[in-house]
Amino acid sequence: MPLMMPNADEAPRAGGRAAPRLTGVAGLVAAFRSAATYLAVGAYVAVVGPPGLLFARLFDQPGLLYVLSHGGVGLGLALSGISYRLEGADRLPRGRTAVYCANHTSNIDAPLLFHLLHPRLHMLYKVEFGRMPILGRAAPLAGFVPVERHNPEQSQRAVDAAAALVAGGHSFLVFPEGTRSRTGELLPFKKGGFIMAIKAQVPVVPVAILGGAAAMNKGSRLIRPVRVEVRVGRPIETAGMTFDDRDRLIAQARRQIEDLVAAAPRG
């Protein structure tokens, strides 16, 4: 489960490029807040995780894991100082199943989008994550689906399993680039998430996250107190679409995300 996570009014970087290194007092403050975040969230997981897992398993209540996860993400955001702005919340398909499709620039993307977009948002996750002692057990119990990126057969089975969950009414967040972009420019999109949406005949919701790389550079554990902006695009209906339409669907979603990233900040 995505547990974790600067309130400075630093504007998000539209291209998602890494921020300059922090030095002096600002660097020390960021380092202290980062350490406090990791320690506090780690303690939170250690304290609430085992009883939460036990309760969820015994009483078949996976929803509790989502409540606990949102609490952990909120704690991490508050301690690290990351603030955020959600633009286009009225476009979120409340009460409907959807596949949310977002760009990917840093490790904070998944926790923040999980926290903002939907109360019970499912995800695909790398099998390595499943080796974590508490979170690795919580993920499949909550309906998250493990995927081996370099194993095409297993990846296809994972997409099929996720598609079945979407058809059963569970919304998913996918990062179609498959990995984090170092430059902020969108990488080629993989088709799995779009196939999931077409199979279930649910809308694809394009989402752009800006400022993620400024909050946490790739390869760094330092969390910077910046403002991250999340922009929601227009849902793309897939009703009546077939697999032959998947490339057109990908192009529509990609175009919207590019436009959302390029749009000038508002207010």
Inter-residue contact 267 to 86 (CB < 8 Å): no
* Structural domain spans, the chain: 24-262
Amino acid at 256: Q
Architecture of the CATH domain 24-262: 3-Layer(aba) Sandwich (3.40)
Tell me the per-residue pLDDT of 90-123, one tens digit each, with 9 for 90 and over.
999 999 999 999 999 888 999 999 999 999 999 9
Grade residue 1 by pLDDT with cuts at 50, 70 and 90: low
Q: 214: closest CA among 3, 4, 14?
A: 14
Q: Which two tokens stand for residue 131?
A: 């080796």
Tell me the per-residue pLDDT of 56-95, one tens digit each, with 9 for 90 and over.
999 999 999 999 999 999 999 999 999 999 999 999 999 9
DSSP H stretches of helix in 118-245: 135-141, 152-167, 192-200, 212-215
Identify the three-state secondary structure at position 90.
helix
Calculate what percentage of the chain has a pLDDT beyond 90.
Answer: 73
Q: Global pTM?
A: 0.89
DSSP H stretches of helix in the chain: 24-58, 63-80, 109-117, 135-141, 152-167, 192-200, 212-215, 246-262
Answer whether residue 196 shows pLDDT above 60: yes
